[in-house]
Amino acid sequence: MERYKNSELLLQKALELVPTGSQTFSKSHYAYPRHASPMFLERGKGSAVWDVDGHQYIDFVNSLLCVSLGYADEDINAAVMAQLQNGVSFSLPHRLEIEVAELLVDCIPSAEMVRFAKNGTDVTSAAIRLARAYTGREHVAVGGYHGWQDWYIGSTTRDLGVPGAVKALTHTFKYNDLTSLETLFSQFPKQIAAVILEPMTFDLPKPGYLDDVKKLCEREGALLIFDEMITGFRFALGGAQEYFNVVPHLSTFGKGMANGFPLSAIVGQRDIMKSMDDIFFSGTFGGETMSLAAAKATLLKMRAKDVAGDLIRKGEALKVSVEKLIREQQLEDYCSISGFPSWTLLAIKDTPNYTGLELKSLFIQECALRGILMNATHNLSYAHSDQDIQRLLEVYGEVLPILKEVSENKLLASRLKGDVLKPVFKVR
C-alpha cells in the first residue's frame, strides 16, 4: 500500500542487515501484515505514536506492555535527564540501586532482597539458576512464557539450537490444572527445583489454585516463582501476588517498571536470594542509572496516582463494551475477549473459510487504517484517556463486522492488501 511506502523501504533495508528485520519477533513482520500496516515508528507522546510515513495512531501495544504511563512522560523524562547530566554507568554501584530496591521491597510482598538486570529473560533465567543452586535439583516445571534462554525455549516449538540434555530438564504443565503439576512431581520425585508460572494470563486462577500450587511446591521441596513481567504493577502495585494474596518464594518483574527504559528485577526471600553470593549472575549494565532513575520516578508516580486502579477501571469499561458489541452483532463465532481488565485479549477465531491468523491480519490492517495500532491485546497505559477507549470501541464497531462479512463471503483475497501473519509459537 502506498500509505506505508517509507515503512516498506526501511523494512527492505532492515532485512538486509537484521535477521527478521527487527530485534523482537513480536515487533516484526511476523506480527504485523507487511504492506498492510506500519512497520516502523518514529515517535510517541502520551497514548499516541506516529509512523515513519507520518500517520498517527492511538497505541494499544505500548511496546509490548513496557510503556505503562505513556510515551515521553514528562515526569519520567525529567528524572532521566537530570541523571543523564551526572552520568549513566559507573565504575562502582550507585545509590539509585539501593533506592529502587527499597521501593520494590516496600511494594512487592515477596521482595526482601532485589537484583537488577535488563530483560525479562535475564531475571527468569537467574531465578531458575538460583532455584537449582538453592535446592540442589535440576528439573523445572513451567507454565506460560518466560523468555528466550535454552532452559525455557527448549520446551516450545522454537527449540532449534537447544541441546537435548537441556530440553530434558524442563517440563510444561497446564494452568489451572493442579493435577497436571502433581503428575510432574510424581514423574520426577525430589528432582524439581522450581515451578515457574505467570500467575495469570487470560484466565482467572480458579479459587484456591495459586494457593494450592504453593502448598504443593512446599510439600515437594521446590521453589515457587511468579513471572510477573506483565502482571507486575498492572494488577496492583505489588503485582498479581498482591492482588491474589499469594506470596511466592521468588518473583521476576520488568516491562512497565521503568516506563519503557530497559530494567528488570528478581526479588525474593532473603535466605534464597543470599545464594546469589554463590551463583554467578552479573551484568555490566544492571546498575545503569538512567533506567534506575526512570524506575524510581515511575514507581513513585504509580503509587501516587493509583495507576493500577486506573488501568483496571478503564479496562473493565472496555471489556464490558466489547462483550456487548460481540453479543449484539452476533460475532461470537469470530472473536471473543478475555483476561484481566488492564490486559485483555481479543481472540480472533478460526472459521470454516479462514484461519484466525488470516482474519487477524485483516483486523490489524483495518484498525491501522482507522488510526489504531493494535495486535489483539489491549495493553493499556495511564496515558490512555476515556476518549481513546471510546475511539477504539468505535473502530471495533466498524472492523469486527468486516471479519464476519469477509469470512462468510470468502472475500479475504480482495480485502487484505498485504501479507498474512506468520506464526511464531503459541505459549498462552
Report the amino acid identity of residue 103: L
Q: Can you spell out the DSSP letters for 348-363?
A: EPP-SSS-HHHHHHHH
Order the strands of the 250-253 sheet from edge to edge: 113-117, 264-268, 250-253, 223-227, 192-197, 139-143, 170-172
How many helices, marked H, and strands, marked E, lie in the chain? 16, 14
From the list 51, 53, 73, 227, the catalytic residue is 227
Of the candidates 27, 118, 255, 319, the residue annotated as catalytic is 255
Residue for grid cell 494488577: 235
245 phi and psi angles, rounded to 5 deg: 60, 45
Q: Which residue reads 520446551 in cell numbers?
A: 155
Beta strands in 191-341 (DSSP E): 192-197, 223-227, 250-253, 264-268, 335-340
Q: How many CB atoms lie within 10 A of CB 414?
A: 9
Q: Count other C-beta atoms under 10 Å from residue 361's C-beta.
A: 26
Query: How deeply is 297 buried, as exposed, middle or buried, from its count of CB atoms within 10 A (0-12, 13-18, 19+)?
Result: buried
All three cell numbers of 257: 517498571
145 is catalytic: yes
List phi, psi (to 5°) of 182: -60, -35
Among residues 71, 145, 175, 382, which one is catalytic?
A: 145
Cβ–Cβ under 8 Å, residues 381 and 310: no
Give 7's contacts (C-beta < 8 A, 6+ positions apart).
38, 39, 40, 51, 52, 53
Catalytic (active-site) positions: 145, 227, 255
